[in-house]
Structure formats: structure tokens, C-alpha cells
């Protein structure tokens, strides 16, 4: 479906941001942004993944004083989420089975971190390749589509962007720094800069309406030629080269498709963002502010209905970032810290502080989504956030009992306020299938089905 | 990354040289190096596979890296704004950012190409309009202007696509020009027409990728020669990380680039230009981890109590020193691998001389300074790498040993165990070596550390910020070490002896060849490349391990000149 919504501008608002530049944003009459356009009584569902690396500290993560599914105490790490306890579904006992398969004759390439990262949302083996991992292991990209992209295929069609990939100090351009995949070997890099992301999402809405219309026409003309070029060349290539051109063409088509969609209307909860002075997004000490801006942007993208699917990566697997902004006593890189033995109480404490800080970031993301009204409730009511890691603990690379937390019921699908434990070898494929179901997608399999089919029972 | 319970070392499999080089290659001493490597189709070892056909190996389509994109834009427009800085980072595999398999185009990158193309077109169209004289002024004759547009598409399009456009392509872009003239504020805007043409050209796969379809007629079996224009781009992106220049276009126009002697002559000409320095620098920056010196050292810092002399400006100087040293050896001295590893001199400017505590250099430019050959040898003992492979408060024999194993010898040490014991705290009553000696005693650690630490101990005369030291905490430094699991095994005393030992190692030479192969061809070597690898080894050996001759030899192989014909799926 192609909607032409080029609308006359009513008024302008001055937006400060983008490195202190003052930029005029047009306010247009398109329906996008008001959230009112969702036909009927159903509000759109949204899906978010938050990824943090290097495992957690299990003894300080899992709930304590557990008397029943609903009667338990939050652990030190999850304490920042106390205000949202009734909205959490803490899922214990789920293993990343696909990422524990031994690499027999190249059947499951990669080291522990590579597998955990590339498989956390794909639940299938990595491709072979030359990304160098630990101990002589190596791997290529993930071997399948990620759950966020599967969801975007279904619910991302009506928004300008099918999905949004954001990062905070993700500094590995390899399998260790990617969780979202359009398909096997097709990683989606996260945008680390809120300034660039803002320009990307809203830049096309800048300018006088007539000029916007001409720009759309010019882009259309150029991209018609470009797309034709890719199509012709694709037909002359073979094998992987052809796939590569095909995937490139899909990206160009996505841009072309978006040209016809409305520019952004600011109004109600969809409001311009104050980005402040531009910071160096590669500096670890800026992570709190940059992360906060990325979450603002994510919430804004939902409020303006630019997208309904988002992933947010905090650094990357084996990140050596020294997160001393959390506590000046932290002097080791996160990965090195995560490797310290259980008997090293000081370092375990530091690692606990790091994971606690990440939990507080999740809490503030929830706060942001709860601040966006939708119908009688908020956008958060129609959202589920998956917090995932590539392993459960750093000092033995364990991928049993992943520290999964779901936040939000996705429109009443999940029964939250509970701590649910699964026993035996429960593969995380089941969890990803549950998430597909929560988004209204009918599926019995996801990833490699040998690690499990069907959803987790008892989450709804 | 430090210790392992796995006792056995799996050595990286070195290329098997099944097909020997042509006779004469090994005793070739003449400096133009043409002997023995210009007749790829023949091989008289008696191996039928060798004689049958060229064996080019795989040729995955190569996307421009950010460096290549920026260099190419500079040559097209004289634009030094580095537009690719705004692109997502290039995916890295095997230590290099130019490996074809993993370089992908995400929606984000496609959008970045669009933004950059629009920006570049807007900026440079006024200058480009000079090529369309009939499109100037108030009363433009549209037919004449379109004639100019046709000529512009042909000439500028050829530069962007790195080959002449087909008539069909010309027609498409002239049509786009005509459409563009109607899409500006004024009724007829040739300027906007040119902008759209430039935007489209810069997003075309024929610009973004190195498209290699090969010649129509197979040379043997399914193997085809690359076209002359495709080879021109192979030369320019290998030697310059950029597009072909006018002389390469001329050679391609004249169909001279199927002649190995012409390729060699072009390579030698190209090596003699400043752009070649950039490309050779790019290789070493990635291979030797020089690009990590600043970010990693600055991120981790150095302990101000132990190293009060350290300041944040030093890592940049250190990186510059090693880059200047490599550039000097390769382009000003003999380009010899042994010199890179063992030269008793370095490059310094005034500020760095202050750090070394020597007199001589003035100003910010780097000049050669001779060092004590009993203490220093080549790039390995320079402060950048010594400080990179060190802890904030001390040296790190483990990381230095790992660097030699992995980077210089191309070997893969086994993984560290999951639970690494805390290393000992700095103890002023012991040398670092004495403290780390526990690795040799702890059975969990011993097996693997025996392969790393004894190499790393050889660098113990260099402290955590890369300064030479005779003593540590007043105690005599013991820099005795041992190489195991290599072709140059044995004990040695200190980094100078180690460097000379490594300079004589065939494994090190094979490692250099392998690294250049991967960087030069954008892929890992395969079994089918054994002839190409053998030729590279032969040429490298024949030149007494001259880096420039190895680069020239990269232009002579089957892997460089041929491909398998594209299979219809």
C-alpha cells in the first residue's frame, strides 16, 4: 500500500539540536504522529529489545524469597525496576541451547561470545567466516533472521521505518556487535549517534512544503535509475554476489517506499527533541547522556509512529569499555571484569553495579513509554521489551538460565508481575516464538527447530 | 586473554606450496624482477593441474571501504571532506576492514550513500557545469545543452564507473538529466539535471562495488581474464586504495593490461607516488594493530604513580613514529622485511626525542635517528607497540608473546580458560618476570603460557610505556627467552636477538605473504590459490624479501588477473 501524504505546512517550530544548530521543522497535517490513526479500537503493538553484554551476576540477579510466582523479592540488580515490578515477567530457566551446540566439523562456528550475540535473537547456528574469536575459533554472521526483524516484517509495514536499530558505544563491526539480522548474513548495524539518528528519522521533514515535494520527486527519479541499475546487475551475477546486490536493492527499495509516506506531524506526545550540545558518542564517559538521548529518540519514534520495532544495544559482546562513570572504583574493562572468579568479591560487586545500572536504564525506558498516552492508557501498555544478554555469566560463559526479563504485556498478552521458572533444557527458541505470538504473528517454529518448537507455556 | 589449560598449541596451517615456482625464479637477482613470474600458464613440475589453466580462486564482489570511498571521492572531485566518516564502520574480519565476504550494505549504509551523494552533487555541480558550456547563461538552447549533457555523462560517468558507459547507460543518465532540469524552482535547470546525474552515478553499484564480470571468452575451462578496466581498478585499489588515474585509464583504453609486463611497469610507477605510501601505511596500520595504539592506550590509561612521564599526547606520537619508520624503511631504505624487524634506528620529531631522551630532531616532522643496536630492533621495540601490549602499571609478557605468535608468526594460540586467576599486584620487591614465573608452575597455566611468556620475556627491557630499562625496581632485568613451536626454535637473550631470529624465519615470511594476500585481494587464501601463493613466495624470496617486490608480485598472479566465469544460477 502506498499512501501519498504530502501535506501543506501549518506552522513551524524551531528545534534546537543536531550540534546546536537551530532547525525548523515543519508541522504537517499528515496523520502520522498523532497515534489516532490506528483504525478501530486496537492500538498498534510495539516490540523492543534491550541488549547488554558479558553476562550478569546470577546470584545478584534472580529474585529472592520466592514464595510463589507473584510473591518474591527483586534482587539487587533488578531493584531499580521496583516501581515497575507489576509490569515485569522475569523468565528463569531458559537456555540458549542453539549457542551451546559443539562445533563438530564446522556445524556451529564461533566462540561463546560470538554465538551468544549472533544467536540471542536468531536461535540458530552462525555462518562460518573469518571473524576471529577466542582460542582459534572463528565465525561469520548470524545464520538466520532475528526475531525483531521477523516481527518488523509483519507489523512494520505501515510505518516509515520497519524497525529502528540504536546503539550506545557499540564498537565492534563484527558478529560481536550485531544482534539484528534481516536474514542469514544480513546484519543491521546499530546507529550509535542520536544526532545522526535524529537527522535520519526527521531530516526528510525539514524544509518548505513545495521544496519537500520537489525533493521527493528528485529522489524518486534518481532512485528509479539506481534501483534499475541494481536490478540489471543482479541479474548478471551469480551466487553470493547476486544475494549481496539483492539485499542492497532491498535497502534502496525501502528508501523509495518511504518517500511516499508522510512526513512527521508534531503534536500531542510526538514532540521535537532537545538534543543539547553534541557529545562524542565514542567516549565511554558520555554513555549515560548518549544512552538517555537514544531512549528519548526511541520513545519519540513510537510516539510519532515512525516505527513500532526497535533494538537498543548497550556496547557489544566482549566490550572492554571501562564503565567507571557508574563507580570510580571500577577500573577494569567490562569483559575482563565479567571474567573474574566468584571468589573475587570486589570485582563481582563491580560487575553487579554495572548490571544494576543497566537495569536502571531499562526502568527509565519503561518510564518514557509510560509517559506517552494512548487511549485510556499508555504506549507501554501495548509494548513488550525483551532484555537479553549473550550469556548468563561471564566467568564461565554459561548460556543456561539466561537473565531474561520481559517488561510490558504487549496489550494484555503476557501476564506480568510474575517470576516464572522453566525446568529442563528449555531452548530460547520457545521464548522468541512467544514474542512472535505476543505480536500477533502465528508461528510454531523460529530459528533452528531442533532446539525447540512452540511457545513457552504459562507466560500468558 | 592470558592463560590456558589447553596444553597443546594448534599451529596455524601454513600454505602448502604444492606447485613450485617456475625455474629461474629463485636465482633471479636482477632488480627489475621480471624473470620467472610472467608466464603463469606454464609450470613444469609435472603437475597436470598447473599446466591446465589459470587458477584464480574465488572473486567475491568487493564493496568500497570507507577509506576507498573517501580516496575515490577525493580523486573525482578534489573533495577532502571524508564523507564516509558518517557511514557505519566497515565490518572487520581477519584483522582487515576490506574483506569482501563481510562487507555488507544495510539500510543504514544505503541511506548514508544517498545523503553523501546528494551532498557531494550539490557541492560540486557548480564546478562540473564548466563541462557543459551550452548549458550556461540566460537563454539556454535545450538541444545543445542536452548534447553537452551527453558528453558529460560519457566523460564523468567513465571516471565514476571506472569504465566507459554503454550507450544504453548513457541514454538512461541523459534522460535523468532531462528529468532533473524540470525539478528545480526555475523552469529549466541544467544545474539540477547534473546534480541528479551525479547523485545517481554515486549510488550506482558500478561505483559502490568493484564490479568484475570478466572477458566474454574463456581463456581455459571456465576461467576468464578480467577486462582491462577491471584490472586497472585492481591495480589502483591495491596500490592506492583508490580509483585509477589517467595513465591507467589510458592503458585500459589501449587494452594493454593483459600483459604481465605492463602490469609490473604500472605497479612500479604507482609505487613511486605518494598515494602508494598511504596504501602501504593502511596495510601496516591494520596488520600490526597500529590503529589500536591511541584508542586502547588512552582508554586504559597508564598509572601516573608508576609512569609520571606519560601524557595523553604520547600515543599519537608513538603511532606516528612506527608509521613513519615503516614508511621510511619501505620507501626510503631497502624495503627489506629484515630491516623492518631489526633496523637499529627509528623516526623521531622533537617532542618524541624528548620522550626518548635523545638530542637531534627539531620541529614536528619525523627524521631518522640511529639507536643503540644492542638495545633496539625494528618496529617491535618501538614504544607504541610495547605500550599497547602492556598493562597500565607494568609490561605484559603475555600480550607481547601473543603479538609475536599471532601477528608476526600467524599462529593461533589456544583460548584462555574461563576462570582466569587474578594476576599478581605490582610488587616492588620482584621483577614482572619473577611474578609471572608462577605461570610456569601453575599446571592450569603452564601448558599454554610456555608458548607465550618465554617470547614475551624477551621484551622485558621495555617497560609499560615502552622505555628501555636495564633494571626494574633496582633489580637486574632478565630478558632471556625461548621460541617453541616455530621454525626458528631456541633460546635467545633480549628483543634484538629475538628480532633477528624472527627475521630469519620462513614462517614469518609466509605470514607476511599471507597477510598481504588477504589485504590485497580482500579475501582469505583457498586451496585453489596455492599456485598464486607459491609465486608470491618465490618473488618475495627472489628479491631477498623486499616488501615492494612482494606488492609488485601481487599484480602477477592468477588470483589477480583472472576469475571464474559467472555461473548462471
Among residues B91, B314, B61, the alpha carbon closest in space to that of A241 is found at B61
Residues B445 and B464 placed together within one structural domain of the fold = yes
Kindly tell me if the per-residue pLDDT of B276 is higher than 50. Answer: yes
Kindly tell me if the per-residue pLDDT of A343 is higher than 60. Answer: yes
- What is residue B409's three-state secondary structure? coil
Kindly tell me if the per-residue pLDDT of B25 is higher than 50. Answer: no
Q: What pLDDT digit, counting tens, does each position of B138-195 carry?
A: 889 999 999 999 999 999 999 999 999 999 999 999 999 999 999 998 999 999 999 9
Indicate the pLDDT class of residue B445, thresholds 50, 70 and 90: low
- What is residue A435's three-state secondary structure? helix
What sign does the CA torsion over A303, A295, B107, B117 have? positive
Q: Report yes or no: B179 at the A interface, CB cutoff 8 Å.
A: yes
Q: Which residue carries 586504559 as its cell?
A: B300
Domain that holds residue B554: 24-59+217-272+528-569
- Best of A152, A207, A222, A252 to substitute, by most chain B Cβ atoms within 10 angstroms, is A222
Backbone angles phi, psi at A326, to 5 degrees: -75, -40
Eight-state DSSP code of residue B423: P
Residues B154 and B288 placed together within one structural domain of the fold = no
Q: Which residue carries 485510556 as its cell?
A: A376
What sign does the CA torsion over B314, B320, B323, B329 have? negative
Domain that holds residue A262: 1-28+199-271
Residues A152 and A292 placed together within one structural domain of the fold = yes
Residues B462 and B483 placed together within one structural domain of the fold = yes
Q: Which of A56-65, B34-43, B121-130, B504-513 has the lowest mean pLDDT?
A: B34-43
Eight-state DSSP code of residue B179: H
Distance CA A425, CA A401 (A): 10
Contacts of B18 (CB under 8 A, 6+ apart): B47, B530, B534
Kindly tell me if the per-residue pLDDT of B113 is higher than 70. Answer: yes
Q: Are A366 and A296 in contact (CB under 8 A)?
A: no
Distance CA A353, CA A331 (A): 13
Eight-state DSSP code of residue A384: E
Indicate the pLDDT class of residue A339, thresholds 50, 70 and 90: confident
C-alpha cell read off for B295: 584508542
With b for 16 or more beta-carbon neighbours within 10 A and e for fewer, the A444-458 pattern comes to eebbbeebbeebbee
Q: Is residue B510 part of a domain?
A: no
Q: What pLDDT digit, counting tens, does each position of A407-460 carry?
A: 999 999 999 999 999 988 999 999 999 999 999 999 999 999 999 999 999 999
**Residue that terminates a domain, selected from A271, A292, A320:** A271
Q: Is residue B262 part of a domain?
A: yes
Residues A99 and A189 placed together within one structural domain of the fold = yes
Residues A143 and A166 placed together within one structural domain of the fold = yes
Kindly tell me if the per-residue pLDDT of A280 is higher than 70. Answer: yes
CA geometry: angle at A252 spanning A127 and A149, to 5°?
45
Q: Are B140 and B190 in contact (CB under 8 A)?
A: yes
Of A217, A248, A344, Cβ closest to residue B105:
A248
- What is residue B374's three-state secondary structure? coil
Distance CA B450, CA B486 (A): 13
Among residues A34, A28, A91, the alpha carbon closest in space to that of A419 is found at A91
Q: Is residue B7 part of a domain?
A: no
Residues A253 and A324 placed together within one structural domain of the fold = no
Identify which has the larger pLDDT, B413 or A67: A67
Residues B431 and B403 placed together within one structural domain of the fold = yes
Residues B135 and B242 placed together within one structural domain of the fold = no
Contacts of A328 (CB under 8 A, 6+ apart): none
Q: Is residue B71 part of a domain?
A: yes
Residues A334 and A243 placed together within one structural domain of the fold = no
Residues B329 and B471 placed together within one structural domain of the fold = yes
Identify which has the larger pLDDT, A360 or A338: A360
Which run of H or E residues covers position B18? none
CA geometry: angle at A165 spanning A162 and A168, to 5°?
165
DSSP A184-219: TT-B-PPB--HHHHHHHHHGGG-S-HHHHHHHHHHH
C-alpha cell read off for B232: 586497472
Q: Is residue A219 part of a domain?
A: yes
With b for 16 or more beta-carbon neighbours within 10 A and e for fewer, the A164-174 pattern comes to bbbbbbbbbbb
Kindly tell me if the per-residue pLDDT of A19 is higher than 60. Answer: no
Among residues B545, B501, B482, B73, the alpha carbon closest in space to that of B334 is found at B545
Residues A173 and A320 placed together within one structural domain of the fold = yes
Q: Is residue A204 part of a domain?
A: yes
Residues A186 and A204 placed together within one structural domain of the fold = no
Q: What is the mean pLDDT of residues B459-464?
A: 96
Distance CA B51, CA B454 (A): 46
Indicate the pLDDT class of residue B414, thresholds 50, 70 and 90: low
Kindly tell me if the per-residue pLDDT of A187 is higher than 80. Answer: yes
Kindly tell me if the per-residue pLDDT of B43 is higher than 60. Answer: no
Q: Is residue A442 part of a domain?
A: yes
Kindly tell me if the per-residue pLDDT of A202 is higher than 50. Answer: yes
Kindly tell me if the per-residue pLDDT of B290 is higher than 90. Answer: yes
Q: At what angle do helices A287-303 and A194-202 cross, to 10 degrees?
A: 20
Distance CA B280, CA B330 (A): 9
Query: To the nearest whole angstrom, how far is the Cα of B181 from the nearest Cα of chain A?
Result: 10
Residues A128 and A206 placed together within one structural domain of the fold = no
C-alpha cell read off for B107: 539500510
Among residues B377, B393, B353, B356, the alpha carbon closest in space to that of B473 is found at B393
Distance CA B293, CA B281 (A): 15
SS3 per-residue string spanning B153-169: HHHHHHHHHCCCCCHHH
- What is residue A301's three-state secondary structure? helix
Of A173, A214, A225, Cβ closest to residue B91:
A173
Distance CA A81, CA A170 (A): 24
**Residue that terminates a domain, selected from B164, B179, B210:** B210
Q: Residue B107: its chain A contacts at CB < 8 A? A: 188, 251, 254-255
Kindly tell me if the per-residue pLDDT of B434 is higher than 90. Answer: no
Indicate the pLDDT class of residue A14, thresholds 50, 70 and 90: very low
Residues B300 and B198 placed together within one structural domain of the fold = no
- What is residue B113's three-state secondary structure? helix
- Report the 10 Å Cβ neighbour count for B418: 16
- Total domains in chain B come to 3
Q: Is residue B522 part of a domain?
A: no
Residues B396 and B291 placed together within one structural domain of the fold = yes
C-alpha cell read off for A232: 540489471
Among residues A200, A257, A261, the alpha carbon closest in space to that of A224 is found at A257
Q: What is the mean pLDDT of residues B118-133?
A: 97
Q: What pLDDT digit, counting tens, does each position of B365-396 carry?
A: 999 999 999 999 999 999 999 999 998 889 99
Q: Is residue A276 part of a domain?
A: no
Residues A306 and A263 placed together within one structural domain of the fold = no
Eight-state DSSP code of residue A449: G
Q: Which of A199-208, A395-404, B4-13 has the lowest mean pLDDT?
A: B4-13
Q: Is residue A460 part of a domain?
A: no
For chain B positions 408-437, those within 8 Å of chain A (CB to CB) are 412-416, 418-422
DSSP A261-295: SPPPPPBTTB------S---TT-GGGHHHHHHHHH
Strands B209-210 and A46-51: unpaired
Distance CA A390, CA A133 (A): 14
**Residue that terminates a domain, selected from A248, A271, A294:** A271
Q: Is residue B15 part of a domain?
A: no
Backbone angles phi, psi at A15, to 5 degrees: -110, 125
Kindly tell me if the per-residue pLDDT of B16 is higher than 50. Answer: no
- What is residue B405's three-state secondary structure? helix
Of A136, A191, A251, Cβ closest to residue B105:
A251
Burial status of residue A307 (CB atoms within 10 A of its CB: 0-12, 13-18, 19 or more): buried
Residues A3 and A98 placed together within one structural domain of the fold = no
Query: To the nearest whole angstrom, how far is the Cα of B296 from the nearest Cα of chain A?
Result: 9
Q: Is residue A367 part of a domain?
A: yes
Among residues A137, A103, A113, A142, the alpha carbon closest in space to that of A398 is found at A113
Query: To the nearest whole angstrom, how far is the Cα of A81 from the nearest Cα of chain B?
Result: 31
- Best of B84, B88, B153 to substitute, by most chain A Cβ atoms within 10 angstroms, is B88
Residues B69 and B201 placed together within one structural domain of the fold = yes
Residues A299 and A379 placed together within one structural domain of the fold = yes
Residues B407 and B315 placed together within one structural domain of the fold = yes
- Total domains in chain A come to 2
Q: What is the dihedral of CA A286, A288, A294, A299, to 10 degrees?
A: -160
Q: Report yes or no: B206 at the A interface, CB cutoff 8 Å.
A: yes
User: Under an 8 A CB cutoff, do B205 and A131 touch?
Assistant: no
C-alpha cell read off for A20: 546546536
Residues B31 and B155 placed together within one structural domain of the fold = no
User: Under an 8 A CB cutoff, do B206 and A396 touch?
Assistant: no
Q: Report yes or no: B281 at the A interface, CB cutoff 8 Å.
A: no
Q: Is residue A402 part of a domain?
A: yes
Distance CA B430, CA B437 (A): 11
Eight-state DSSP code of residue B313: T
Q: What pLDDT digit, counting tens, does each position of B326-341 carry?
A: 999 999 998 999 999 9
Indicate the pLDDT class of residue A348, thresholds 50, 70 and 90: very high
Q: Is residue B345 part of a domain?
A: yes
Mean of all residue pLDDT scores within chain B: 88
Q: Is residue B3 part of a domain?
A: no
Residues B51 and B111 placed together within one structural domain of the fold = no
Q: Is residue A51 part of a domain?
A: yes
| Assembly ipTM | 0.85
**CATH code of residue A72:** 3.40.720.10
Identify which has the larger pLDDT, A261 or B317: B317
Q: Residue A225: its chain B contacts at CB < 8 A? A: 172-173, 176, 200
Kindly tell me if the per-residue pLDDT of B131 is higher than 90. Answer: yes
Q: Report yes or no: B199 at the A interface, CB cutoff 8 Å.
A: yes
Q: What pLDDT digit, counting tens, does each position of B473-499 carry?
A: 989 999 999 999 999 999 999 999 999
Kindly tell me if the per-residue pLDDT of B259 is higher than 90. Answer: yes
Q: What pLDDT does residue B37 have?
A: 38
Residues A17 and A54 placed together within one structural domain of the fold = no
Amino acid at each position: 500500500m502506498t499512501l501519498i501524504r504530502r501535506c501543506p505546512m501549518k506552522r513551524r517550530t524551531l528545534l534546537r539540536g543536531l550540534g546546536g544548530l537551530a532547525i525548523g521543522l515543519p508541522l504537517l497535517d499528515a496523520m502520522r504522529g498523532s497515534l489516532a490513526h490506528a483504525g478501530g479500537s486496537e492500538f498498534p503493538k510495539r516490540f523492543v529489545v534491550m541488549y547488554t553484554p558479558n553476562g550478569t551476576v546470577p546470584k545478584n540477579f534472580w529474585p529472592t524469597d520466592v514464595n510463589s510466582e507473584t510473591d518474591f523479592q527483586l534482587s539487587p540488580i533488578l531493584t531499580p525496576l521496583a516501581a515497575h515490578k507489576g509490569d515485569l515477567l522475569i523468565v528463569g530457566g531458559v537456555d540458549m541451547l542453539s549457542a551451546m551446540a559443539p562445533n563438530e566439523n564446522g556445524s556451529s562456528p564461533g566462540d561463546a561470545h560470538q554465538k551468544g550475540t549472533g544467536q540471542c535473537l536468531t536461535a540458530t547456528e552462525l555462518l562460518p567466516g573469518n571473524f576471529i574469536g577466542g582460542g582459534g575459533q572463528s565465525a561469520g554472521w548470524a545464520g538466520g533472521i532475528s526475531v525483531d526483524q521477523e516481527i518488523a516484517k509483519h507489523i512494520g509495514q505501515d510505518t516509515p521505518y520497519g524497525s529502528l536499530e540504536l546503539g550506545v558505544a557499540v564498537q565492534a563491526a563484527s558478529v560481536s556487535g550485531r544482534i539484528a539480522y534481516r536474514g542469514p548474513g544480513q546484519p543491521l548495524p546499530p546507529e550509535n549517534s542520536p544526532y545522526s539518528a535524529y537527522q535520519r528519522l526527521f531530516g526528510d521533514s525539514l524544509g518548505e512544503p513545495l521544496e519537500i515535494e520537489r525533493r521527493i520527486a528528485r529522489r524518486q527519479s534518481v532512485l528509479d535509475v539506481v534501483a534499475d541499475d541494481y536490478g540489471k546487475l543482479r541479474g548478471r551475477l551469480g551466487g553470493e554476489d547476486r544475494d549481496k546486490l539483492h539485499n542492497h536493492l532491498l535497502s534502496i527499495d525501502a528508501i523509495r517506499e518511504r518517500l511516499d509516506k508522510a512526513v512527521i506531524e508534531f503534536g500531542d506526545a510526538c514532540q521535537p527533541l532537545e538534543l543539547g550540545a553534541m557529545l562524542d558518542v565514542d567516549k565511554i564517559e558520555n554513555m549515560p547522556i548518549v544512552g538517555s538521548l537514544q531512549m528519548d529518540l526511541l520513545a519519540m519514534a513510537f510516539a510519532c509512529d515512525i516505527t513500532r520495532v526497535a533494538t537498543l544495544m548497550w556496547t557489544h559482546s566482549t566490550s572492554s569499555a571501562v564503565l567507571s562513570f557508574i563507580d570510580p572504583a571500577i577500573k577494569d574493562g567490562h569483559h575482563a571484569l565479567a571474567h573474574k572468579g566468584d571468589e573475587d568479591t570486589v570485582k563481582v560487586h563491580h560487575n553487579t553495579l554495572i548490571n544494576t545500572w543497566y537495569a536502571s536504564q531499562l526502568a527509565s525506558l519503561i518510564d518514557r513509554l509510560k509517559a506517552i498516552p494512548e487511549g485510556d492508557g499508555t504506549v507501554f501498555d501495548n509494548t513488550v521489551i525483551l532484555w537479553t544478554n549473550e550469556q548468563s555469566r561471564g566467568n564461565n560463559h554459561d548460556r543456561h538460565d539466561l537473565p531474561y526479563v520481559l517488561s510490558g504485556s504487549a496489550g494484555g498478552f503476557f501476564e506480568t508481575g510474575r517470576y516464572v521458572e522453566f525446568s529442563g533444557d528449555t531452548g530460547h527458541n520457545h521464548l522468541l516464538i512467544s514474542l512472535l505470538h505476543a505480536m500477533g504473528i502465528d508461528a510454531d517454529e523460529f530459528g533452528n527447530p531442533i532446539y525447540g518448537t512452540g511457545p513457552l507455556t504459562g507466560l500468558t | 586473554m592470558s592463560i590456558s589449560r589447553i596444553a597443546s598449541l594448534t599451529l596455524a596451517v601454513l600454505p602448502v606450496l604444492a606447485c613450485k615456482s617456475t625455474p629461474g625464479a629463485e636465482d633471479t637477482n636482477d632488480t627489475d624482477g621480471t624473470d620467472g613470474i610472467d608466464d603463469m600458464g606454464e609450470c613444469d613440475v609435472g603437475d597436470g593441474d598447473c599446466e591446465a589453466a589459470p587458477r584464480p580462486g574465488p572473486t567475491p564482489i568487493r564493496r568500497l571501504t570507507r577509506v576507498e570511498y573517501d580516496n575515490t571521492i577525493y580523486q573525482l572531485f578534489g573533495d577532502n571532506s571524508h564523507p564516509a566518516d558518517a557511514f557505519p564502520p566497515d565490518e572487520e574480519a581477519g584483522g582487515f576492514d576490506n574483506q569482501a565476504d563481510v562487507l555488507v550494505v544495510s539500510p543504514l549504509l544505503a541511506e548514508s550513500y544517498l545523503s553523501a551523494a546528494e551532498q557531494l552533487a550539490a557541492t560540486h555541480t557548480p564546478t562540473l557545469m564548466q563541462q557543459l558550456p551550452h548549458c550556461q547563461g540566460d537563454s539556454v538552447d535545450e538541444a545543445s545543452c542536452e548534447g553537452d549533457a551527453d558528453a558529460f555523462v560519457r566523460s564523468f560517468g567513465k571516471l565514476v564507473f571506472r569504465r566507459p558507459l554503454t550507450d544504453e547507460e548513457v541514454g538512461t543518465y541523459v534522460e535523468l538529466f532531462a528529468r532533473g532540469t524540470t525539478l528545480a524552482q526555475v523552469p529549466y535547470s541544467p544545474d539540477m539535471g547534473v546534480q541528479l546525474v551525479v547523485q545517481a552515478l554515486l549510488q550506482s553499484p558500478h561505483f559502490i562495488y568493484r564490479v568484475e564480470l570478466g572477458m566474454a571468452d574463456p581463456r581455459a575451462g571456465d576461467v576468464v581474464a578480467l577486462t582491462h578496466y577491471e584490472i586497472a581498478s585492481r591495480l589502483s585499489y591495491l596500490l592506492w586504495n583508490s580509483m585509477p588515474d589517467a595513465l591507467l585509464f589510458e592503458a585500459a583504453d589501449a587494452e594493454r593490461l593483459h600483459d604481465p609486463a605492463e602490469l609490473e611497469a604500472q605497479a612500479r610507477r604507482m609505487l613511486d607516488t605518494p598515494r602508494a605510501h598511504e596504501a602501504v601505511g593502511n596495510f601496516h596500520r591494520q596488520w600490526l594493530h597500529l590503529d589500536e595504539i591511541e584508542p586502547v592506550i588512552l582508554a586504559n590509561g597508564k598509572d601516573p604513580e608508576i609512569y609520571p612521564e606519560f601524557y595523553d599526547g604520547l600515543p599519537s606520537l608513538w603511532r606516528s613514529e612506527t608509521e613513519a619508520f615503516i614508511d621510511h624503511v619501505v620507501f626510503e631504505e631497502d624495503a627489506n622485511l629484515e630491516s623492518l624487524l631489526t633496523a637499529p634506528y627509528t623516526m623521531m620529531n622533537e617532542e618524541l626525542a624528548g620522550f626518548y631522551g635523545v638530542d637531534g630532531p627539531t620541529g614536528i616532522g619525523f627524521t631518522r635517528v640511529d639507536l643503540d643496536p644492542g638495545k633496539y630492533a625494528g618496529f617491535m621495540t618501538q614504544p607504541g607497540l610495547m605500550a599497547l601490549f602492556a598493562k597500565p602499571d607494568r609490561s605484559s609478557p603475555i600480550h607481547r608473546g601473543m603479538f609475536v605468535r599471532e601477528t608476526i608468526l600467524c599462529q593461533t594460540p589456544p583460548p584462555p580458560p574461563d576462570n582466569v586467576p587474578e594476576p599478581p599486584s605490582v610488587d616492588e620487591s620482584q621483577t614482572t618476570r619473577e611474578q609471572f614465573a608462577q605461570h610456569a608452575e601453575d599446571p592450569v597455566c603452564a601448558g599454554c603460557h610456555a608458548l607465550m611468556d618465554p617470547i614475551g620475556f624477551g621484551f622485558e627491557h621495555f617497560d609499560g610505556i615502552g622505555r628501555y630499562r636495564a633494571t626494574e625496581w633496582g633489580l637486574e632485568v632478565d630478558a632471556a627467552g625461548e621460541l617453541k613451536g616455530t621454525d626458528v626454535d631456541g633460546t635467545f637473550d633480549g628483543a634484538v636477538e629475538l628480532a633477528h631470529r624472527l627475521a630469519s624465519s620462513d614462517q614469518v615470511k609466509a605470514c607476511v605473504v599471507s597477510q598481504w594476500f588477504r589485504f590485497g585481494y580482500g579475501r582469505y587464501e583457498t586451496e585453489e590459490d596455492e599456485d598464486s601463493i607459491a609465486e608470491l613466495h618465490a618473488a618475495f624470496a627472489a628479491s631477498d624479501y623486499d616488501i615492494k617486490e612482494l606488492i609488485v608480485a601481487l599484480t602477477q598472479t592468477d588470483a589477480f588477473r583472472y576469475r571464474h566465469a559467472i555461473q548462471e544460477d
